[in-house]
Amino acid sequence: MSIHIGAQPGEIAETVLLPGDPMRAKWAAETFLDRPACVNRVRGMLGYTGTWQGQRITIHGTGMGMPSLSIYVNELIRDYGVKTLIRIGSTGAMQREVALHDLVLAMTASTLSTPSSGIFRELNFAPCADWGLLEAAHRAAVSRGRPVHVGGIYSSDAFYDERPDLNEAMTRHGILAVEMETAELYTLAARHGARALSVLTVSDHLLTGAAMSSQERETGFAAMVEIALEAALS
């Protein structure tokens, strides 16, 4: 056990998928894993371990934002020996060619600050995805005919952002989409020698105001989970 994860030694797989919402972790585990078992309920942050195509997989929630994700990723790596971490979540498009339901594979993640910022002080560290995972996810998406975009994203430290000037600058510099966790995930993976990737589904659009319905989110997120699973075990 760790401070925030109640799983016993051996109950968490070396490969973990990381949705922000603990209920999405439950849905993904029950939908895609064989014989999923709940291995964590501490503070309502659900984690499940089962198998997919005969390989052990854990799906564990992280909560919203980089501070929350940092707690779980640190403990998963440090206390449970996790080697591969793939975030599966929603994102807001920042380019007109990126449409609702499209997949975004985050090659890099820009941010104003993360929980790890104090380590680097004046250095602007550039967190990036693991190439093997990125290439495998892209191949899986293309083979399924899924619209997919690869490039930089922006990890915001606030959901209710009131910086239209910053959003405009991100769009101008080719940032594909915005979410709230990936920059810290990639930084922690680099620090601990783990592999990491974010596979994201576009649920809303900052430029057009378009947004998925709740039903569209449930069905649209299925492809994202399948691609993440295939990339993790390729």
Residue 87 in marked binding region: yes
Question: Tell me, what's the pLDDT at 218?
Answer: 66
Overall pTM > 0.85: yes
pLDDT in tens, 23-65: 999 999 999 999 999 999 999 999 999 999 999 999 999 999 9
pLDDT confidence of residue 217: 75
Question: What φ, ψ does residue 41 adopt, rounded to 5°?
Answer: -135, 5
- Tell which wins on pLDDT, 11 or 216: 11
The percent of residues above 90 in pLDDT, for the chain, comes to: 92
The model's pLDDT over 145-191, given as tens digits with 9 standing for 90+, comes to: 999 999 999 999 999 988 889 999 999 999 999 999 999 999 999 99
What is the domain partition of the chain in residue ranges?
15-232
DSSP per residue over 56-101, as a string?
Answer: EEEEE---SSHHHHHHHHHHHHHHH---EEEEEEEEEE-STT--TT
Q: Does domain 15-232 have CATH number 3.40.630.30?
A: no
Q: Is 89 annotated as a binding residue?
A: yes
Helix axes 66-80, 182-192, angle to 10 degrees: 30
According to the annotation, is 24 in a ligand binding site?
yes
Of the candidates 21, 79, 161, 204, the residue annotated as catalytic is 204
Lowest-confidence segment of 89-93, 192-196, 211-215, 216-220 by average pLDDT: 216-220
Q: Is 157 in the active site?
A: no
